[in-house]
């Protein structure tokens, strides 16, 4: 026993000496300062030193590892030599395989001295998945969910001999059940939610985005090599069940994927190539611009497929689909109504089935009625077989990466009651109704911190004209199959003229809801809303006013690069003071290219006996 104890002591001393030599060699080579080690630790240099974006203490071996990359590297090397147990899952070699492979290569670590090499669990999973290519996935924006208004990004580990739907996806998202938009935005802006990386089957994500949330999906296959994909896989393994604080504008779903790209190719340095905020579509554009994309695919949502299908049905056939979904007609009767066109019967049943699912989702159909009605449709539909792939093709819209960048700075000039002024505007994000729609949802507006200032040279006066804290608007057209409601929420500060020398700033909250339709006589989209308005500031005699009214609008894209928007609104203030506010506006925007636009706007105000015309011309630069 004494000899065994002495032998164990010698082995322990030998291991400690070997670890110390590795740590000394790592310090000599400056590995803690290498870009790859910074990527693996998610380290970022700031005003107060180096700090990791990962907030989970379990991600670090050293107590100061979150802020000291060198201490974390020393502790990681020591951890690799911890004795193995029957449960290898939590052994450091298995817990951090990307760190292990890199450090082993850099320091030529002797495999014979390691208790675990390689990790059998990691290798079994890797062999099962066999990822050879990487796909960047962008589900388009979804206006009815505050967490999805800017779209989302995730990655797929794809194997060439497998249907893409069976691939595994990796994404980063806030973990929250919050559904109230303002609360979600507040907590997301200030990092109050934990964010986690999740690995899930892609077919689950397609069902979530494509079918339930009605979002089109764009898939960008990247040109990473199998060896680079393996490095991403190993680092993704390290990030499982690890949390980092989620920030809506910075450390979000799109930015956190930058580290995965940099793990594959550190020279990309994407995690350092950003501004004050990161928007998902801008990261997609950046990946395309850097030449990392070799193939792009479009996966239409269920709604897009149904609209394409229904668009080629006759009015009577569309009516039949609606009646089937409403329970006013039995599926078995369809052969009597459409005896000679089997493909049309298939399409009518498919449209009716999805409309029935939507009726369940919006609460107009209970579960009992849904089960009876939906399975009647499925039984009849299953007897007819599949539709030909090209029977009702879905024409892909313009790709999201072809649209304008999300930030804008605009310079121009105009006249206000015959007085000239120079206008300067800065909009950090994201898209507004008058912007060109290429790559964006028509009728969707999301503005954050939109700021407009004016300088009047004749009076040498600079004023803040308008500032949006947030402005969100959804103009969703209704038809005979889908009947969404349009809505808007705007809040911020605006200059509020009441007389030639009376134009104080007021804070405002404007909301509204209504409907929109495609025009069958003239081109474009017509909409109307019932509005509610609350304002506070010295622009009102009692420092506040509240009321309501309505808005009518007409939006039309004359060509792919030329757009018009005309609105007229009337409000009656009844609290604080009593008067009528009438405002009409017209704007037209010409897209010069994906970076530049030319815009002309005219606004006319009739407010409590005061009249003010305002015309301006601006040139905008998107970036």
Domain ranges of the chain: 16-120, 130-299, 302-382, 403-622
Joined together, the tokens standing for residue 412 give 């121009």
For the cut 70, the answer to whether the pLDDT of residue 559 exceeds it is: yes
- In this prediction, residue 7 carries a pLDDT of 36
- pLDDT, residue 11, reads 43
What pLDDT is stored for residue 147 in this prediction? 56
Asked if the model's pLDDT at residue 180 lies above 60, the reply is no
Task: For the domain covering 403-622, report its CATH number.
Answer: 2.40.160.40
Q: What is the dihedral of CA 172, 177, 182, 183, to 10 degrees?
A: -100
Q: What is the pLDDT at residue 297? A: 96
Tokens for 431, please give them: 């898209």
Q: Strand, helix or coil at 146?
A: helix
The three-state secondary structure class of 549 is strand
Q: Does residue 457 or residue 361 have the better pLDDT?
A: 457
Q: Residue 355 contacts by C-beta under 8 Å, 6 or more apart in sequence?
A: 306, 321, 322, 324, 325, 481
Contact 565, 593 (CB under 8 A): no
CA atoms of 101 and 29, how far apart (whole Å): 17
- The secondary structure element, H or E, covering residue 347 is helix 342-361
CB 242 within 8 A of CB 54: yes
* Per-residue pLDDT, 184: 65
At residue 413, the 3 state secondary structure works out as strand
pLDDT at 96 over 90: yes
- Out of 180-184, 387-391, 563-567, the most confident range is 563-567
Residue 337 pLDDT > 90, yes or no? no
Task: Let me know: does 590 contact 619? Beta carbons within 8 Å.
Answer: no
CA 376, CA 557: separation in Å to the nearest integer?
Answer: 42
Check residues 605 and 149 and name the one with the higher pLDDT.
Answer: 605
Contact 455, 421 (CB under 8 A): yes
Cα gap 612→579, rounded to integer Å: 16
Write out the two tokens for 293.
């994309």
Judged by DSSP in three states, 586 sits in strand
According to DSSP, the β-strands at 579-591 and 562-575 are: antiparallel
Segment 136-144 shows an average pLDDT of 84
Residue 249 DSSP label: S
**Residues with Cβ within 8 Å of residue 81, at least 6 apart in sequence:** 15, 18, 19, 113, 114, 115
pLDDT tier at 179 (50, 70, 90 boundaries)? low
Confidence band for 364, pLDDT divided at 50, 70 and 90: confident
In angstroms, the CA 222 to CA 435 distance is 30
Proportion of the chain above pLDDT 70, given as a percent? 95
How large is the average pLDDT for residues 33-48?
91
pLDDT tens digits, one per residue of 445-482: 999 999 999 999 999 999 999 999 999 999 999 988 88
Q: How far apart are CA 370 and CA 359, in angstroms?
A: 8
Cα distances (angstroms) measured from residue 337 to each of 70, 317, 321, 330, 342:
76, 9, 12, 11, 11
pLDDT digits over 401-444, tens only? 999 999 999 999 999 998 999 999 999 989 999 999 999 989 99
Q: What is the mean pLDDT of residues 149-158?
A: 89
pLDDT of residue 182: 60
Looking at residues 526-535, what average pLDDT do you find?
97
CA dist list (Å): 2 to 6, 8, 16, 39: 6, 10, 21, 47
For residues 140 and 402, what is the distance between their CA atoms, to the nearest angstrom?
13
**What pLDDT does 251 receive?**
84
Q: What is the pLDDT of residue 608?
A: 87
3-state secondary structure of 412: strand
Q: Can you say whether the dihedral through the CA atoms of 523, 524, 529, 534 is positive or negative?
A: negative
Contact 62, 69 (CB under 8 A): no
Of the candidate ranges 36-40, 286-290, 330-334, 588-592, the one whose mean pLDDT is the lowest: 330-334
pLDDT on residue 177: 67
Consecutive H or E run containing 19: helix 2-29
pLDDT at position 5 over 50: no
- 605 strand-pairing partners: 583, 612
Cis before 430 (ω within 30): yes
For residue 233, name the pLDDT band (cuts at 50, 70, 90): very high
The rounded distance, in Å, linking the Cα atoms of 433 and 490 is 13
- 3 pLDDT exceeds 60? no
Please state, for a pLDDT cut of 90, what percent of the chain lies above it. Answer: 65
| Gap between the Cα atoms of 588 and 602, Å rounded | 9
What are the Cα distances from residue 401, in Å, to 141, 220, 280? 13, 10, 10
């Amino acid at each position: 026993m004494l000899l065994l104890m002495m032998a164990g002591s010698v082995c322990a001393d030998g291991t400690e000496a070997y670890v110390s030599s590795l740590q000394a060699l790592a310090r000599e080579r400056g590995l803690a300062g290498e870009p790859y080690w910074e990527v693996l630790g998610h380290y970022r240099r700031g005003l107060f030193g180096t700090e990791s974006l990962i907030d989970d203490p379990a991600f670090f071996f050293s107590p100061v590892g979150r802020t000291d990359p060198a201490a974390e590297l020393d502790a990681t090397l020591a951890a690799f030599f911890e004795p193995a147990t029957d449960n290898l899952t939590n052994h450091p070699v298995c817990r951090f395989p990307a760190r292990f492979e890199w450090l082993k290569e850099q320091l030529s670590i002797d495999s014979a001295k390691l208790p675990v090499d390689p990790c059998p669990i990691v290798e079994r999973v890797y062999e099962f998945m066999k990822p050879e290519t990487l796909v960047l996935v962008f589900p388009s924006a979804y206006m009815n969910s505050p967490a999805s208004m800017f779209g989302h990004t995730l990655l797929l580990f794809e194997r060439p001999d497998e249907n893409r739907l069976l691939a595994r996806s990796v994404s980063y998202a806030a973990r929250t059940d919050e559904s109230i938009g303002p609360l979600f935005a507040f907590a997301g802006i200030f990092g109050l939610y934990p964010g986690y990386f999740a690995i899930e089957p892609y077919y689950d994500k397609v069902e979530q985005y494509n079918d339930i949330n009605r979002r089109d999906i764009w898939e960008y296959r990247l040109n990473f090599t199998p060896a680079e994909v393996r490095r991403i896989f190993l680092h993704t393994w390290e990030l499982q069940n690890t949390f980092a604080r989620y920030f809506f504008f910075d450390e979000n779903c799109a930015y956190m994927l930058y580290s995965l790209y940099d793990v594959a190719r550190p020279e990309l340095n994407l995690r350092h190539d950003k501004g004050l905020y990161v928007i998902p579509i801008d990261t997609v554009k950046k990946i395309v611009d850097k030449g990392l994309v070799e193939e792009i695919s479009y996966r239409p949502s269920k709604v897009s497929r149904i609209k394409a299908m229904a668009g080629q049905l006759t009015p009577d056939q569309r009516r039949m689909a609606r009646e089937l979904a409403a329970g006013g007609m039995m599926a078995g009767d369809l052969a009597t109504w459409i005896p000679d066109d089997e493909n049309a019967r298939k399409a009518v049943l498919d449209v009716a089935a999805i409309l029935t699912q939507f009726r369940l989702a919006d609460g107009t159909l209970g579960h009992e009625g849904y089960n009876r009605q939906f399975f009647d449709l499925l039984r009849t539909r299953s007897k007819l077989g599949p539709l030909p792939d090209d029977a009702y093709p879905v024409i892909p819209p313009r790709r999201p990466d072809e649209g304008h960048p999300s930030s804008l700075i605009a310079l121009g000039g105009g006249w206000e009651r015959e007085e000239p002024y120079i206008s300067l505007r800065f909009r950090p994000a994201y898209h507004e109704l008058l912007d060109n729609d290429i790559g964006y949802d028509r009728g969707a507006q999301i503005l954050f911190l939109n700021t407009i200032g004016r300088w009047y040279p004749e009076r040498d006066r600079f004023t803040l004209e308008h500032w949006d804290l947030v402005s969100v608007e959804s103009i969703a057209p209704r038809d005979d199959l889908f009947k969404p409601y349009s809505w808007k929420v705007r809040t911020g500060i605006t200059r509020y003229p009441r007389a030639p020398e009376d134009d104080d700033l007021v804070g405002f909250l404007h909301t509204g809801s209504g409907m929109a339709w495609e025009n069958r006589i003239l081109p474009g989209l017509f909409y109307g809303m019932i509005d509610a308005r609350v304002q506070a500031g010295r622009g009102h005699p009692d420092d506040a006013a509240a009321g309501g009214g309505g808005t009518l609008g007409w939006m039309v894209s004359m060509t792919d690069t030329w757009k018009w928007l005309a609105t007229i609104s009337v409000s009656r203030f009844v609290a604080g003071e009593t008067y009528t506010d009438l405002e009409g506006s017209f704007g037209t925007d010409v897209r010069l290219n994906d970076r530049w636009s030319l815009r002309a706007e005219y606004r006319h105000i009739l407010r409590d006996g005061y009249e003010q015309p305002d015309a301006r011309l601006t040139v905008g630069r998107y970036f």
